[in-house]
Structure 1
C-alpha cells in the first residue's frame, strides 16, 4: 500500500481506508494504493469481500485539482475503477461526509453503496469546465435514467444521501456504525457481483431528453462542457458502455486542457486562498453570537437576513419608526417567500424569526458582539451614527461600516478605540450576493480581521480583504472599467453596442444597463463631491452628468441611458441619448469612428487589468487573485473567463504591457499605466 491507503481485515472482509487529509483527495498515491489493495484482495483466498471507506470526516471529496493542470500521471482513475469491476469479489463503498467527483465515480464502480445519514454525493466537474472523466456520465444514467442524469451532472448538483437513496443511487443509509454496517452488507454479498455497467440504461423518449437538454443548456449558459456532458450522457443509451467510456475520457481530456477549464480552476484555487488567514493565523477570532444592524433600508434589511439565515441572533435598529417598519416587513416577506416556494419549512422559519428583534432604542445594541452600520452614504451621517454606537455598545463589541466608497479611517479616527473598527462592504442584495469586502483600517486589530473572516465564512460569503482606499478593490476596478466605456461613447460607440458586446462576452449586464438599474444619481453625487479635487487637465466624460441634469436617473425615473416604457422588462434605445452623445463628440472635437465588439471587450479588459495592477502596487489587495474573486462574485464578470488577473497571466507580461501602452494613448490625460509585475508574482494555483 502507499502511505495514503491503509488496510486491515475484519474476519473475511478487507477494509481499505483512504487517508489523505484534509478531504481524502484522489491523488496519484491514493489511486495506486487502491490498485494495490484490490490486487491483494484478489490474491488472498481467505478474503471474500472489501470495503472502501474514508479516514477522518469524509469519503473522497474530489480529485487533487493541482494534477489537472499537468499531464495526468498513471494510474488514471478509470484503471482503478476497472480493477474494482473486474475483481471477482464484491467491493462496497462506505460513504460519510462527501463523495464528490472522482470519489463518487469510484463508488459507482463498487457493487454497493452504503452511506451515513447527512452525507452528500455529486459530480461537480461541469462547474470546473470539464465533465466526469471516469464513467460518471455512463454509470449514473444506468441507475437513474438520462433526464435525471442531465439535470444533476449539468448543474454539478450535490445530493443528500436520503434523496440519493430514493433515486436508487445509494443502497442503504445508516444513522451510525457505518463500518460495522458496511461489513455486514459486504458479507451478505459474498459470492456475487452487482456491477452498474451490466445494467441497461432506462429508455427515454427524444422529447423528454430534448426538454432536459434545453433546460440544462439554459441554466449552464450554453458552455461547452455542459453540451459535452449531455452528449456523453446520451451515449449511455445509444452505445455499449465501453464505447461510451472511451468517448467520455476523450472529451474529458480535451476539456481539461482548455482555457475555460484553466480559468475555472483559477477561480477554484483563488477561493481556497480566501480563508488561509484563518487557518494559518495564531490570532483567534472573537465569538460572535448577536449582530446588531443599524439602518433598516434595503441594504440593512438584506444584511439582517443574511445574518439570520446564518444562525446569528439579529437586532435591526433604525431611529425612524417608518423605516424600521418597512425593513421588518421586507425581512418577513423574504422568509414568507422561502416558505411558500418550499425552500424552508415552517419550523425553520419560526426558529430563525425567534432570533430576530427590532428597535428604535439605541440601548438595545448593548448586548451585540458585532455592530454593522448600514445607513445613508454620507460621512457626516456615519460620524453621528458611530458616536451613538460608542455611547451604547459593549466595549468589546466590534464595529463595522457598510460603505462603498467612504474613508473608514476617517470614521475610525473619531472613535475611542479605532482598533475595533473596520469595513464590511456588502453587495446588494446582501442576502444573495456572495462578495464581501473586508476593509482593514490603519488601526484595525488582527483579531477584528480574523473575526470578520470567520463571520464571512459562516455567512457563506467570498471575503476579500482590502486596504482603505477610495472604492476599495471592486468599485475601484469597476470605476476604471466604466470610465473606459464612457471614453468609447465619446469616440464612436453607443450604450447599446457596448452593453451588447460585453453581455455576449459573458458579463451579466453591460455597464450602462447596470447604471440605469442602480441609479445614475448615486454616481453623480459622488462625482460632484470630488469635483473640487479633480485635475481639470484629465479627460472627463460629461455625458452621464448631462443625463442627470435632464432628470434621467435610470429605471426609477423612467429614463437614463435607455428609455423604460411602462410594462416593459428591458430598456429601449432612446434617440435623444444618441443625439446627446453625438453632440458631445462634436463639442470636444472628437471624430467618431466604428467600434467592433472585440475592440470594446479588449479595451474594457485592459482597463480592468491596469487598475488591478495599481491595486496590487498600492497594496490595497495582498493577493492578486482577490481582484478576480471580487469581479466575478460582485460585478457580473463571467466566471468561466477567470477574471482580469487570470487573463493577464494568459497574455504574458510583455504582451500585456504593450497593450496597456496602446490603451494609455487612446485614453488620454489622466490614464496612468500600471506596473504589472505583481500580477505575475501571484498565481491562484501556487
Structure 2
C-alpha cells in the first residue's frame, strides 16, 4: 500500500480506502497503492470481494494537477484500471462526491458500481483539451452506449447518480450509509457466486455493428462539429470506434496515442492555462492579509434585470436578501423578476415547489432603506449615473450598520467618487457583476483607494459563496474588462468605417471561436448603452483622437438599439434572437464613409483578427503596466468568463504568447503608421520583446 491507500478487512470483504485530501486525486502514490492492493487481494484466499472507496468528501475526483507537466511515474492510470479489472475477486466501486475523469475510469475498471444518490460522475477531460486516457473511451460506451458516452465526454458535464444508474454506468444506489451499502452489496455478490465482470468485455450498451457505425457518424456530424475549434472530440470518436474492433491492449494503446496527440495541440495549452488561471484569480494580497467579515444577510438596491440577477445569485448561495426599490410598483416588478427564475426552474424539473418556497422565504422585498439596517453587505444596482449612485450611497451611509460593506455594481464609474458620498470610504468596494448575474460567472472586484483588506476579502468571500470567478481590478474607467473592450470595439468601428462589413467582422470573430461577433453582441446588450457612454464622455474626448462612434450614433438616432427594438446592426423577427443583416444599416455605413471622406477598402479575415486582437492585447499590456490587473492571467480570466473569448485559446494574453509577442509588436507597428495615437505599442510589450520574455513569465513571477 502507501500512505494514501489503506486496505482493511471486514470478514471476507476487503475495503481499499483512498485518502489523499482534498479530492483524493490520483497521484503516483495513490496509483501505486491501488495496484498493490489488488495484488494483495488476489493473493489472499480469505478475501472474497473488495470495495474501493474514497475517504473524506469524495471518491477520487481525477488526476493530480500537481503532476501536470511532470515526467510520468509508474504505474500509469490505464495500467491501474486494467489491474483492477483483472482482479480475480469481484471489485466494487463505492462512489460519493464526484468520480470525475480518472476517478470514473477507476470505477469503470471495477466490476460493479454503487453510489450515494447525491454522487456525480463524468469524464471532463475535454475541458483541458484531451480525451480520457485510461480506458474511458473503451469502457463507458459498453455500459452506457455510444451516444450517451460521447455526450458525456464531449460536453464534459457531470452526470447525477440517478441518471448514471439509468444509463447503466452504476449498478445501484446506496440506501443509507455508502460503505455499509457497499458491504451488503459485496456479500450479496459473494452469496450469489457472482465473480468479476469486466467492463471492457461487456456489450449491453452497444447496438449492432450498423447501429454503432450510425451512432459514430451521427456524433461526427453533430456534437463534434458543435465543439468548434477543439481537437479532442474528434479523437474521442476515433478512439471509441477503434475500441469496438480491437483488443483491450490495442485499444488502450490507441487511446493513449490519441491522448498524446491532444497534448501537442495549441488548444490543449490554452485550455490548461485557462484551468490554472481560473484557480489563480482569487489569490490576491488582501485575502492573505485579512479574513472576510461575517456574511449571511445582504441588501440589493434595485429590482431590474441586474438587481434581480444578483438577488438570485445570493439566494442560490444560501444568503438572506432584502431587495429595496423606490415604490410598490417597482418592488412588485423586482419580486416578479426573481420569482420568474425559480418558476422556470420548477417548470423544467430543476426544483420542486417546496424548494422554491424555501428559497423565497429568504427573500424580503421592501420600499424602505431602513430595512437594510442588519445587512452585512449592501449592493447598489441602480442606473449607471454618478449622481444617482452618490445619492444612494449617502442614504446607505445613514442606515447601514457599522462594519457593513457597501458595494457598487458599476461598469465604469469611479468608486472613489461614489465612496465620497459616505463617511466610511474604507467600507466601499466595487462589485461589477455581468448580466445575467445569476448565470454569468465573472465578478470583477474593484479596489478603490481607501477600502480595507477585510472589506475586499468580503467581496471575494461573496464570490466564493456565489460560485463566481473573481478578478481583482484596480480603479480606472471601465476597470479591466470594459476598458479593454473599449479599445477593441474602437478597432472594430474603425475597420467598418474604413471598408469592412460589420457582418464580415462578426463572421471572422465567430470563426476565431467567439459565440457571436461584436456587432451582434452590441445588439444583444443594447446599442443605447454605448451611445449614452459616448455622450457622457463627449466633453472630455481628445480633439486629436479619431472618433469611433459615427456609424453607431446614427443607428441610435434612428431608434435602432438592437434586439430590444427589433433592429440594430441586424434585423430581428419577433421572438428571434438571431438577426439578419440590416440593409438600412448598410446604407448608413455607406453615407457615413462618404461624409468622412473615406474610400473603403477590403479587409481579409486574417487582418480583421490581427487588428482586433492587437488592440485587445496592447490595452491589456497597458492595464498591467498601470497595475489595474495584478497578472496577465487575470485579464485572460476576465475575457474567458465575461466577454466570450474562446476558452481553448486561453485568453488574450495567453494567445499573445502563442502567437508570439514579437508578431504582436510587428502588427502594432504596422498599424501605427496609419494612426500613431491609437496603435502606439505599450512599453511593456516593447520591453518584453527586447528581453525575450512572455506574459507567462509575468504570471510565474506573480505566483512566486
Report the TM-score when normalising by structure 2: 0.90
Structure 2 match to 1:407 = 414
The count of residues paired between Structure 1 and Structure 2 equals 686
Structure-2 residue corresponding to 1:431: 438
**Who is 1:273 aligned against?**
280
**1:261 maps to 2:271:** no
Query: 431, 439, 449: which one pairs with 1:442?
Result: 449
1:365 to 366, 369, 372: 372
After superposition, the C-alpha distances for 1:343-379 in whole angstroms (9 at most, x for unaligned) are: 2111111111112221112211112221111111110
Q: Distance in 1 between matches of 2:539 and 2:286?
A: 45
3-state SS of paired residue (1:367): coil
List aligned pairs for 1:594-609, cutoff 5 A. Answer: 594-609=602-617
What displacement does 1:82 show? 1.9
Range moving further from structure 2, 331-340 or 229-238: 229-238
Structure 2 Cα separation of the partners of residues 512 and 198 of structure 1: 52
Given the alignment of the two structures, is residue 386 of structure 1 paired with residue 398 of structure 2, yes or no? no
SS in 2 for 1:164: helix
Matched, 1:287 2:294: yes
- Structure 1 residue 112, shift from structure 2 partner: 2.2
Q: Is the 8 A contact 1:94 1:113 kept in 2?
A: yes
Superposition deviation, residue 175 in structure 1: 4.9
The within-5 A match list for 1:48-87 is: 48-69=48-69, 72-87=72-87
The CA distance in 2 between the partners of 1:370 and 1:533, in whole Å, is 34
Write the distance in 2 (CA, Å) between the matches of 1:231 and 1:199.
Answer: 20
Gaps of at least 5 residues in structure 2 are 689-693
Give CA deviations for 1:268-310 in whole Å, capped at 9, x if unaligned.
Answer: 1111123345996352222222221111222112211222222
Report if the CA contact (8 A) 1:563-1:574 is conserved: yes
Cα pair distance change 1:157/1:564, threshold 3 Å: closer
Q: Tell me which moved more, 425-434 or 316-325.
A: 316-325
Deviation at 1:612, TM superposition (A): 1.3
CA distance 1:535–1:334, shift in 2 (3 Å)? same
CA drift at 1:238: 4.9
Q: How far does residue 3 in structure 1 lie from its aligned partner after superposition?
A: 4.0
TM superposition shift of 1:189:
4.8
Distance in 1, Cα, partners of 2:556 & 2:94: 64
Of 608, 621, 626, the residue aligned with 1:613 is 621
Aligned residue runs from structure 1 range 88-103, under 5 A: 88-103=88-103
Of 657, 663, 667, 2:665 maps to: 657
Structure 1 100/463 Cα, relative in aligned 2: closer, same or farther at 3 Å?
same
Q: Quick one: structure 1 residues 663 and 44, their matched pair in 2 at CA, closer, same or farther if it must change by over 3 Å?
A: farther
2:402 is aligned with 1:395? yes
SS at match of 1:16: strand
State the match for 2:173 in structure 1. 173
For residues 626 and 234 of structure 1, the distance between their equivalents in structure 2, rounded to whole angstroms, comes to: 40
Matched residue, 2:511:
504
Post-superposition CA distance 1:545-575 (Å, at most 9, x none): 3333444333334443334465765433344
Distance 1:209 1:251, change over 3 A: closer
Give the deviation of 1:595 after TM superposition: 1.0
1:6-405 aligned within 5 A? 6-69=6-69, 72-186=72-186, 189=189, 192-204=195-207, 205=211, 216-217=223-224, 220-221=227-228, 223-277=230-284, 281=288, 283-405=290-412
Gap runs ≥5 in structure 1: none
**Distance in structure 2 (CA, Å) of the matches to 1:103 and 1:279:** 35
Larger CA deviation: 495-504 vs 268-277: 268-277
Instruction: Say yes or no: does 1:668 pair with 2:676.
Output: yes
CA–CA separation in structure 2 for the residues paired with 1:258 and 1:501: 22
TM superposition shift of 1:201: 4.4
Deviation larger for 471-480 or 226-235? 226-235
* 2:655 corresponding residue in structure 1: 647
> Cα RMSD (Å) of the superposition?
2.7
Report Cα offsets for 1:432-460 as digits up to 9, x if no partner.
Answer: 21111111111112111221112112212
Between 1:337-346 and 1:278-287, the stretch displaced more is: 278-287
Offset of residue 662 of structure 1: 2.6
Q: What is the CA distance between 1:635 and its match in structure 2?
A: 1.0
Cα distance in 2 for partners of 1:557, 1:187 equals 67
How far is 1:75 from its partner? 2.5
